[in-house]
Amino acid sequence: MADGVARVTGRATLEDVARAAGVSLATADRVVNRRDGVRDKTVARVEAAIARLGYRADPAAARLARNQSFRFLFILPTGANSFMTLLAEQVARTAEWLADQRAYLDIEHVDVFEPEALAAVLETVPPGYHGVATVALDHPRVRAAIDDLADRDVPVVTLVSDVPSSRRVHYVGIDNPAAGRTAATLMGRFLRGQTGTVGVIAGSLALRDHAERQFGFTQVISREYPGLVVLPAIEGRDDSERTRLAVSTMLEREKDLVGIYNVGAGNRGVAAALQQAGRRAGEIAWIAHELTAHSRRYLLNGEIDALISQNPGHEARSAGRVLLAYCSGNPMLPDQERIGIDIFLRDNLP
Amino acid sequence: MADGVARVTGRATLEDVARAAGVSLATADRVVNRRDGVRDKTVARVEAAIARLGYRADPAAARLARNQSFRFLFILPTGANSFMTLLAEQVARTAEWLADQRAYLDIEHVDVFEPEALAAVLETVPPGYHGVATVALDHPRVRAAIDDLADRDVPVVTLVSDVPSSRRVHYVGIDNPAAGRTAATLMGRFLRGQTGTVGVIAGSLALRDHAERQFGFTQVISREYPGLVVLPAIEGRDDSERTRLAVSTMLEREKDLVGIYNVGAGNRGVAAALQQAGRRAGEIAWIAHELTAHSRRYLLNGEIDALISQNPGHEARSAGRVLLAYCSGNPMLPDQERIGIDIFLRDNLP
DNA sequence: CTGTTAGCGCGTTCAT
DNA sequence: ATGAACGCGCTAACAG
């Protein structure tokens, strides 16, 4: 009959504590919120009462009384690919639950491939914002802008793409070298017993996440799958048409191509090039990133063999939670905020 | 300059709405909460004001004023394996955040392999509980007990293991046939070009989730990988020693065993049997379920090739959120509550 | 049908 | 150093 292994009462109110300690509400409140101006002896008495009653402040009441609100700025890429569109959608949803916590967010779009543009936006974040979340770019001016915000006590979280050397408060995104290694292990095992070359396509190797994925991928393939040779990465600018051209060229040149790893977007281009070259689904192992409407289709019909992915919903919510926690002085739970590297086969699609 | 694509104001209070509509607070409140006893014309006026001001009720204030709290019962397996221990830990953590929402939970342990014991607990859930979450068992008496709770308006969510035919409000867990298919695809691809038999070990085929995984696995292997033959499942009761014995026997009998899929717990037994038989890591493809301290080690040293997993932290929180949403009359967000089938290789371990 | 009013638990003046 | 009292936004009695 519910032996209360983990019974959490939480019933006691601050008033109960005050009464139990023989002090007033205000005094009890002072010690709960670690404000000074209370004699040590009194502090001890109140703390004893708190412990005895198992008091926990009611966060709803606290927020209400504080009557405080926050304003965050989310900086996302313009136009962009399917994944970024999904991210934007999820950020918009996050806005609703944030609003329930009295935190309001605005969204600003900038071109990801333009470090100067991003830096300019970061440099001119209007006063009044209590926090910024941004899909970043590893560039000196961007880094400096982030550090300036940190100086102004505006916490910055990087989203999806990090600037590790900056003073951002937190990075919400996957471990990209690990993602590349994951892709490599899948590729290596899917190609068991085959020898040949493997092509890598990136949006741009100037993008830190793309470069890191390529690095992790190459590292594992060359170390563990001697029969496979990774070709130098080609750049598709995350654009389907450019990607199609690049892949077509590669297919012509490399007669023993057995696998393709697309680190960035533009999967429609890869599919088009393969079809154009008369390659049947499954003939060349193809691993790509991010679950979108397109990649899902390619996965289901067997063109894509596996997808490495990150969950935009988790990421948007995590960014919101982290900023909110930071601004309210609450600790974040690292466990809950860790973004996993998802692997999707056609069988475990959501 | 933050062009407010998704600006959510949320600023307006009920009082603002009342004033704008020319009614009292109480009336405004009545229409906000869809209570009747208000003239249609008035309703319309208030709703117009709500829309115009973009009013959203402050949930913190509402909960405070309602001064309502809930009590939930979580029923988890006794003793049990590593995964269930992790689940229990995560449920305990969830208790803290639930307490902040004025929802308190008790934990009760029962033996999973005893439907009668589980049913007995479900049948005697004391009054005063507003909801129940249980790692269930597909058994007629359990099903009946769940339906009785539903009759008493006590929502039940099944956790990890479902009873689909019951009137549970929601199932928090993975799609087990799909998990089995996922394992099969990995197995089939990892064994590319090989022929032989594949052993399947289950805790008990009377457990719905184990049976479903085995079903999905066998289905895909036999349909798509003609070179592989799935052996009839053997039962290890989720116990390392029994599992070791069963696997040892299998290794002796099946000289052309190329893969092992362990649907349940007891991975230490599998490892012991393999070592005992002198099988080097990697010689036999081994796919298992759930990320625990043990399975993580086997994955890292190459004994286990891939892990199919579910996130106990997500599951515990999801069960809490769903129960809370149900009791407070709020809708749940299916998207956020969907539990994914995680695939772990050594490269993407958290 | 509609309005008034007294809290919910906590933070925050302003007195003492 | 400590206490009294008001208000945050909303709900729920109770009046009218």
Q: To the nearest 10°, the Cα dihedral for B49, B50, B54, B56?
A: 150
Q: For the beta carbon of residue B71, count every other beta carbon within 10 angstroms.
A: 16
How far apart (Å, rounded) are the C-alpha atoms in residues A336 and B97? 13
| Angle, CA of A169, A170 and A173, to the nearest 5° | 160
Interface size between A and B, measured as CB pairs under 8 A: 172
B342-344 and B306-309: which strand pairing?
Answer: antiparallel
What Cα–Cα distance (Å) separates residue B13 from each residue in A65, A68, B22, B63? 15, 14, 14, 15
Nucleotides of chain C touched by protein CB (<7 A): 1-14
Sequence-ordered list of residues with C-beta below 8 angstroms from that of A120, at least 6 positions apart, any chain: none
User: Do residue A108 and residue B3 have CB atoms under 8 angstroms apart?
Assistant: yes
Name the residue among A95, A165, A24 with its Cα closest to residue A324. A95
Least confident residue range of A161-170, B5-14, B264-273, B296-305: B5-14
Whether the pLDDT of residue A2 is over 80: the answer is: no
Interface probe, candidates A343, A344, A349, chain B, greatest B C-beta count within 10 A: A343
Per CB-CB distance under 8 Å, the chain A contacts of B330 are none
Mean pLDDT of A184-192: 97
B313 vs B6 pLDDT, higher one: B313
Least confident residue range of A111-120, A290-299, B144-153: A111-120
Report the SS3 class of residue B241: helix
- Please report, as a single letter, which amino acid is at residue B12: A
pTM: 0.94
Mean pLDDT of B22-47: 93
Between B4, B60, B184, which is nearest A106 by CB?
B4
Between A10, A61, A96, which is nearest B8 by CB?
A96
H-state helical runs in A108-206: 115-123, 140-151, 176-190
Domains of chain B: 14-57 (1.10.260.40), 68-173+312-339 (3.40.50.2300), 176-309 (3.40.50.2300)
- Check if the beta carbon of residue A163 is closer than 8 Å to that of residue A102: no
How far apart (Å, rounded) are the C-alpha atoms in residues A10 and B98? 10
Measured CA B66 to C1' D6 distance, in angstroms: 21
**pLDDT per position as a tens digit, A238-289:** 999 999 999 999 999 999 999 999 999 999 999 999 999 988 777 899 999 9
Whether the pLDDT of residue B272 is over 70: the answer is: yes
Closest nucleotide to B65 by C1' from CA: C8
Closest nucleotide to B13 by C1' from CA: D9
